[in-house]
Amino acid sequence: MQIDDLRALLALSEHHHVTGAAAALGTSQPTLSRLLSRVEAELGARLFERDARGVHPNPLGATVIEAARELVERYDRLRRDLAGTLDPDSGTVRLAFLDSIATSLVPRILRDVRERFPRLRVELRQEPGHEIMADLDAGVAELALNWGPQATPYAWLPLQTQALALIVPPGHRLAGRRRARLADVAGEDFVTIPPGYGFRTLVDDLFAAAGVTPRVTLEIGDLATVASLVGVGLGVALVPDRFVGASGTVGVPLSVPGGERVVGLTWRADRRLTPAAERFRAFVEAAAPYD
């Protein structure tokens, strides 16, 4: 049984005559009569009684009509929802992004997109990088603002390069330095992101390349909180330079090769984006970079 069969049953229940229902459906009376016979044979039950007044649902027919009405309404609602989602101007974009850019890059991009496409809806997911990639794989997010570059099967559009800086509490022995090496913090209490986070991998790789093992004393999965802990004197940290000064910290530029991270837009290159997501992606690409 198809959705059009259900619509035909509804028309019969409303018009009580095959002729009137056929006219409403834009079909012929014999065609509608054959459809009704086929549906009743498929369900194995007589649904309508025929008399001089027309056709009327019997108790079994009333049960089928109630179910048909619900199914048709749900189907029509699904079509409307899909049409809205697929509309490039008013559809929905599912965007995941890093916690560490929640108050900087993300608001700028969303503001620009809203000004250009005011009816576009954006569903936001703020989470760590490894969860972002899992959401892209699962289809929970279509686009993501993450650090990279990303490898196949992901496409990658770099948007912003962020230099890393050492942050220390006010009055710290390194606070007045013009530049710092990683060796300068070898004996310091070090505050950072937990293992498993992309930013922690970057930090660990920098220390390993410098031949330094940091003394990690505190780990928390939010760079703003890392800065807060440093600000009250609980250690030092490496953070993107946009966090310098947060919570009263003092920033010291790093003299470290590769001491930066690149934030960009990524998506699954092996899947077609919805029209709304593609419109968002193309707009961000045209507006890049966001330095």
- Lowest-pLDDT range of 10-24, 122-136, 143-157, 252-266: 10-24
Report how many domains make up the chain: 3
Which pTM does this prediction carry? Answer: 0.69
Residues 49 and 97 in one domain: no
Using the predicted structure, report yes or no on whether residue 79 has a pLDDT greater than 80: no
Q: What per-residue confidence (pLDDT) applies to 74?
A: 87
**In 3-state terms, what secondary structure has residue 109?**
helix
- End-to-end Cα separation, the chain, in angstroms: 57
pLDDT band, residue 227 (cuts 50/70/90) = very high
Query: Is residue 84's pLDDT more than 70?
Result: no
211 & 245 share domain: yes
Predicted local confidence at residue 126, as pLDDT: 94
Q: What is the CATH number of the domain that holds 36?
A: 1.10.10.10
Residue 78 has pLDDT above 90, yes or no: no
- 151/277 same-domain check: yes
- Whether residues 81 and 30 share a domain: the answer is yes
Containing domain of residue 237, as a range? 160-260
Last-in-domain residue among 59, 86, 113: 86
Q: In b/e form, how buried is each residue of 84-114, taking b as 16+ CB within 10 angstroms? A: ebebeeebbbbbbbbbbbbeebbeebeeebe
Q: Are residues 182 and 213 in the same domain?
A: yes
Domain boundary among 86, 112, 135: 86
